[in-house]
Chains A and B, each alone.
Chain A
Amino acid sequence: MSMKAKTRRVDSVTVVDITGRITLGEDLTELRQLIRNLLAQGDKSILLNLADVTYIDSSGIGELVSGFTAASNQGGQLKLLNLTKKVRDLLQITKLLTVFDVYEDEARAVGSFRKATGA
Chain B
Amino acid sequence: MPACAGEIPLAMNPEPQVVEVSLQSDLKSVEAAEELAEDVCTKAGFDDEDLHKIGMAVHESVINAIWHGNKNDASKRVWLRFQIHPDRVEIHIRDQGSGFEPGRIPDPLESENLLKSSGRGIFLIRSFVDEFRVENLKGLGTEVILVKRRNSKEKKEA
* A binding-site residues for B, Cβ under 8 Å: 23-25, 57-59, 61-63, 65-66, 68-69, 86, 90, 93-96, 98-99
Number of interface residues of B (CB under 8 A): 20
User: B60–A63 contact, CB under 8 A?
Assistant: no
B114, A66: Cβ atoms closer than 8 Å: no
Q: Is the CB of B63 within 8 A of A24?
A: yes
Q: Which 4 A-B pairs have the closest CB atoms?
A: A62-B117, A66-B117, A58-B120, A58-B121
Q: How far is the CB of A42 from chain B (nearest CB, A)?
A: 23
Q: Is the interface of A mostly helix, strand, loop or mixed?
A: helix
Q: How many Å from the CB of A96 to the closest CB on chain B? A: 7
**Inter-chain contact count A-B, CB under 8 Å?**
48
With A25-B27, A94-B108, A95-B109: A65-B123 Cβ-Cβ less than 8 Å: no
Q: Can you give 14 contacting A-B residue pairs, CB < 8 Å?
A: A57-B56, A58-B60, A58-B121, A58-B123, A61-B120, A62-B116, A62-B118, A63-B117, A65-B116, A93-B124, A94-B108, A94-B120, A94-B123, A98-B114
When distances are taken between beta carbons in the complex, the residues of chain A under 8 Å from B114 are 95-96, 98-99
